Amino acid sequence: MSSGSHTFMLGFSLVILFVNAASLDYGTALTKSLLYFEAQRSGKLPTNQRVQWRGDSALKDGKEEGIDLTGGYYDAGDNVKFGFPMAFTVTMLSWSVIEYEHQLNSKNELKNALNAIKWGTDYFIKAHKEPHVLYGEIGDGNSDHQCWQRPEDMTTPRTAYKIDEQHPGADLAGETAAALAAAAIAFNGLDSGYSKELLTHGKELFDFAKKFPGNYQTSISVAGQFYSSTGYEDELLWAAVWLLKATQDKTYLDYIKDKSTNSGGTRSMFSWDDKYVGAQVLVAKNLLEKKFAGDESTLLSEYKKNAEEFICNCIQKGNNNVKKSNGGLLRWQPWNNLQYVTAASFVITSYADTLSATKNSMQCTSGKVEPLQLITFVKSQVDYIVGENPQKMSYMIGFGTNYPKKIHHRGASIVSIKKDSTPVSCHEGFGLWFNKNAPNPNVLDGAIVGGPDLNDKYNDTRNNFQQAEPATANTAPLVGVLARLAS
């Protein structure tokens, strides 16, 4: 129902309008989105932990290697710490703070957003003990997937896998450099010492990535089956753009200019694996803000062209439009589709705000597009995610009353260790909890599941991991979008 100025409506109709508006409370969704990251924490939990059903876990990570690798995040519904998507998660949380600090602050969520970032960056600092060494995974997906246990009970091997000069991984090092550079900007005005420390690590990792190219799964083969990277050029570019933003150092600008003829072309998606759109949008925003001089802006215009073509395709006004479901949701693929929707929604929102601030519009194949049209489109996607869809179901857990109750997530699906401390053994968890036809005992507030299929259908069962498994990369981009819509 549109919220026009129908003040002449009868009292009954007005009530309906207000109920409808209340059901899409972006502020509540924002609060829940940040709670989710607390539920995904690994390591020793702080005393002010708000998610009460979680306890300490994986306190010996790195011990066999003689290094403290506790902390960081579990990526999804399992108990593995995958560095590659974790770094993307932290980059997107940091970008949300950089772009929407004021809005987060006005909703009293800035501190929680910074805490979410710091939980990741503290871990990256530990994982980057030497300039050319970075630990990129703790635990192994194959052994982990043989068990169904709370992270607090974990009995699976916690092998630590790293990249170094002999076993490079420019994509992993590049994405972690981007995360640290973006976080350095987010913390700059609040904790300059920490910001400097993050930047030092970010610069070192970028140099490491440039000097030792290659895809990280060739060095950390156990990651290949779960988070295989399609290339490292995008991560290097993305890191260079963030480092330029953090330092204003011409070296990074030279790198970006050098890559302008190979800036990724028009991408089909933006995700934990493909960062080109993010880099293109950041360069395009700088062009709109006239941050580059004469020749540079001509040279860098290719980035803007590609960024805008991606956005045009998302909003259905391009040459190669992204598919949509009948209910109106952008559709990339059957497996965890919502991660692509949230990532695209963030870059479109961010770009719309820069267009608006610089009094610009955008040209698509089918005509001129104003910033407000972009925000309206993003709102349609977010509204779909949180309940305005054919199923009338919120795909954000804990938002509203109708949301998936049997999500594919070990910690959420097993009784809290605080309620029953009896250890759940590796295989026992399947019989006792995984196969149990009952709602999860713990509500994973703010988690965004993979989402519905092309026909807007969703099957709420724990073994439906394509649709029912949430991941940190799904929720992270939505934090900034929700902050923007809430204010």
Catalytic annotation, pick one of 65, 191, 453, 460: 460
164 is catalytic: no
From the list 61, 75, 78, 274, the catalytic residue is 78
Write out the two tokens for 272: 């934990």
Going 38 to 42 to 48 to 52, the CA torsion angle's sign is positive
Token look-up 């993307």 returns: 88
Task: Provide the CA 61 distance to its chain's centre, in angstroms.
Answer: 24
The CA-CA-CA angle for residues 336, 127, 241, to 5°, reads 65
User: Catalytic: which of 308, 408, 409, 445?
Assistant: 408
Pairing of strands 367-369, 323-324: unpaired
Angle at 143 between CA 138 and CA 146, to 5 degrees: 135
Helix axes 170-187, 110-127, angle to 10 degrees: 140
Look up 408 and say whether it is catalytic.
yes
132 flagged as catalytic: no
Whether residue 145 lies in the annotated active site:
no
What does the alpha-carbon distance between residue 453 and residue 469 come to, in Å, rounded to a whole number?
Answer: 14
Region label for 142, one of left (φ > 0), alpha (ψ between -120 and 50) or beta (otherwise): alpha
Q: Which of 38, 137, 153, 469 is catalytic?
A: 469
* d(C-alpha 184, C-alpha 243), whole Å: 9
What tokens were used for 302? Answer: 């290719």
Q: Active-site positions?
A: 78, 408, 460, 469
